[in-house]
Amino acid sequence: MKHSLTLLLGITLLAGATACAQQGRVSPHETTSAVLGGKKITIEYGRPYKKGRVIFGGLEKFGQVWRTGADEATTIETQGDLMLGSLHVPAGKYALFTIPDQTEWTLVINKVAKQSGAYEYDAKQDLGRVKMKVEKSPKVIEQLTISIEGQGNRGTLKIAWDETVASIPVMMH
């Protein structure tokens, strides 16, 4: 009985801690993944809503580092060595940031995967930066969406929100 009570107390404390950790989140969180060249790429991020706001050039300032989602920094994990545009990314887990601009974005891969976002961001920890193509979306995208589309060992990483779609080619080594 004593062992059962201790186990029940432990489970209750764990559930409470999990609820408290997620309590500050306003946006839902999602994990998206793709397999390129037989190796998995996984991105975890918070998915904020537009809610009638001007996103790029408003909520997210042009020329400033953005955590590319809500809450904690977005993470990208790759099981194999990867090329994001011209940037070589060794297998591992990283934080993914962007610097939005009107005509092109900069994708930033930071070596510190677990961080709260722009508040902890340290450019000295960047693995590298690479330019992304930007296009106007044919329709307004209400909720931030990150996707990886492709086949074989090649694909495209897309970040879409509001009236903007930023993309970069991806290739698994």
Q: Give the model confidence (pLDDT) of 19-50 as tens digits.
A: 334 456 789 999 999 999 999 999 999 999 99
- pLDDT for residue 24: 66
CA–CA separation, 160 and 30 (whole Å) = 14
Q: Does position 9 have pLDDT exceeding 70, yes or no?
A: no
- Tell me how many domains the chain contains: 1
Work out whether the CA dihedral 21, 22, 25, 28 comes out positive or negative: positive
Q: Are 25 and 46 in contact (CB under 8 A)?
A: yes
Provide the 10 A C-beta neighbour count for residue 76: 25
- pLDDT for residue 21: 45
CA distances from 139 to 28, 51, 133, 160 (A): 22, 15, 18, 11
Does residue 13 belong to any structural domain of this protein?
A: no
Reported confidence tier of residue 17, pLDDT bands at 50, 70, 90:
very low
Q: Calculate mean pLDDT across residues 76-105.
A: 97
Per residue in 53-82, pLDDT tens? 999 999 999 999 999 999 999 999 999 999
Does residue 131 belong to any structural domain of this protein?
A: yes
Does residue 7 belong to any structural domain of this protein?
A: no
CA distances from 100 to 2, 8, 43, 51 (A): 57, 48, 19, 19
Q: Does position 142 have pLDDT exceeding 90, yes or no?
A: yes
Can you give the pTM of this predicted structure?
0.84
Q: Calculate mean pLDDT across residues 93-109.
A: 97
Q: For tokens 């993470």, what's the residue?
A: 75
Q: Calculate mean pLDDT across residues 86-104.
A: 97
Does residue 1 belong to any structural domain of this protein?
A: no
Q: Does position 115 have pLDDT exceeding 70, yes or no?
A: yes
Does residue 120 belong to any structural domain of this protein?
A: yes
CA–CA separation, 8 and 95 (whole Å) = 36
Does residue 90 belong to any structural domain of this protein?
A: yes
**Residue 49 structural domain:** 27-172
Does residue 20 belong to any structural domain of this protein?
A: no
When the pLDDT of each residue in the chain is averaged and rounded to a whole number, the result is 88
| Helix (H) / strand (E) containing 136 | strand 126-151
The torsion of the CA quartet 86, 80, 73, 149, rounded to 10 degrees, works out to 70
Q: Does position 3 have pLDDT exceeding 50, yes or no?
A: no
Does residue 123 belong to any structural domain of this protein?
A: yes
